[in-house]
A and B are shown apart, each in its own frame.
Chain A
Amino acid sequence: MIAALRKGALRDVVVVIVVVFGVGSIAMLLAHVSPLDGFGALFDGAFGTPEEVAETLVQATNLLFPALGIAIAFRAGLFNIGAEGQLILGGFAAGWLGAQFPLPPYLAVPMVLLAGALAGGAWGAIPGFLRARFGANEVIATLMLNVIAVLLTTYLVTGPLQQGGGGAAETAALPKAAQIPDLIALAADPHFTLAYLLTPFVVAIVLAFVLWRVLARTVFGYELRAAGEAPEAARRAGIDLGRTAFVAMALSGAIAGLGGATIVSGGLHRFNTGLSPGYGFIAIAVALVGNLDPRWIIVASIAFGMLQSGGIAMQAEAGVPREVVTLVTGLVIIALAGRRVVANRRST
Chain B
Amino acid sequence: MNATLAAVLAILGLTLVKATPLIYAALGGVLSERAGVVNIGLEGILIAGAFTSVVVSGATGSPLLGALAGVLAGMLLAAILAYAATRLGVDQIVAGTGLNIAALAGAAFGLVLVYHQPGASHEVPAFGHTGEVVFIVLAFVVAAALQFVLTRTPWGLRVRACGEDPGAAESAGIDALKTRFRAVVIGGAIASLGGVYLSLAELDLYSDGMTAGRGFIALAAVIFGRWTPLGATGAALFFGFFAALQYSLQRAGVPSQLMQALPYLAALVALAGFAGRVRAPAADGIPYVRQ
Complex contacts, A330 vs chain B, CB 8 Å: 98-106
Q: Name A304-348 residues within 8 Å CB distance of B.
A: 321, 323-327, 329-338, 341-342, 345-346, 348
Q: Mark B237-278, 1 if CB is under 8 A from A, else 0.
A: 000000000000000000101101100110110011100000
Complex contacts, A342 vs chain B, CB 8 Å: 89-91, 287
In contact, A327 and B109 (Cβ under 8 angstroms): yes
Q: Name B136-156 residues within 8 Å CB distance of A.
A: none
Chain B: minimal CB distance from A161 (Å): 12
- Choose, from A92-100, A149-157, A234-242, A255-263, the stretch at the interface: A149-157
CB contact under 8 A between A338 and B219, given known A130-B271, A330-B105: no
Chain A: minimal CB distance from B188 (Å): 15
Q: Is B84 an interface residue (CB 8 A)?
A: yes
In contact, B105 and A140 (Cβ under 8 angstroms): no
Closest chain B residue, CB of each to CB of A324 = B109
Complex contacts, A333 vs chain B, CB 8 Å: 94-95, 97-98, 101-102
- Choose, from A131-139, A177-185, A264-272, the stretch at the interface: A131-139
CB contact under 8 A between A334 and B267, given known A151-B258, A154-B257, A323-B112: no
CB contact under 8 A between A323 and B105, given known A151-B257, A154-B257, A348-B286: yes
Q: Is A279 an interface residue (CB 8 A)?
A: no
The bracket for how many chain B residues form the interface is 35 or more
CB contact under 8 A between A327 and B102, given known A139-B40, A321-B109: yes
Give Cα distance in the complex from A199 to B174, angstroms: 58
Q: Is A3 an interface residue (CB 8 A)?
A: no
Closest chain B residue, CB of each to CB of A146 = B216
Complex contacts, A152 vs chain B, CB 8 Å: 257, 261
Q: Mark B86-120, 1 if CB is under 8 A from A, else 0.
A: 00111111110111111111101100110000100
Give Cα distance in the complex from A281 to B102, angstroms: 11
Q: Name A89-146 residues within 8 Å CB distance of B.
A: 126, 130, 133-134, 136-137, 139-141, 143-145
Q: Name B205-256 residues within 8 Å CB distance of A.
A: 213, 216, 219-220, 223, 255
In contact, A284 and B94 (Cβ under 8 angstroms): yes
Complex contacts, A284 vs chain B, CB 8 Å: 94, 97-98
* Chain B, interface SS category: helix
Chain B: minimal CB distance from A291 (Å): 14
Q: Is B10 an interface residue (CB 8 A)?
A: no
Chain B: minimal CB distance from A157 (Å): 10
Q: Of the candidates B94, B106, B271, which one forms a contact with A327 in the assembled complex, judged by CB atoms under 8 Å apart?
A: B106
Q: Of the candidates A154, A327, A348, which one forms a contact with B105 in the assembled complex, judged by CB atoms under 8 Å apart?
A: A327
Give Cα distance in the complex from A70 to B267, angstroms: 23
Q: Is A15 an interface residue (CB 8 A)?
A: no
Q: Is B280 an interface residue (CB 8 A)?
A: yes
Central interface residue in A148, A281, A336, by most chain B CB within 10 Å: A148
CB contact under 8 A between A148 and B265, given known A155-B257, A333-B101: yes
Q: Mark B49-68, 1 if CB is under 8 A from A, else 0.
A: 00000000000000000000
Q: What are 27 residue pairs bridging A and B, where the CB atoms are less than 8 Å apart in the complex?
A: A81-B93, A81-B97, A130-B272, A134-B271, A139-B38, A139-B285, A140-B219, A143-B40, A148-B261, A155-B257, A158-B257, A321-B108, A323-B105, A323-B108, A326-B101, A330-B98, A330-B101, A330-B104, A331-B98, A333-B101, A334-B90, A337-B84, A337-B94, A337-B95, A338-B91, A345-B286, A346-B289
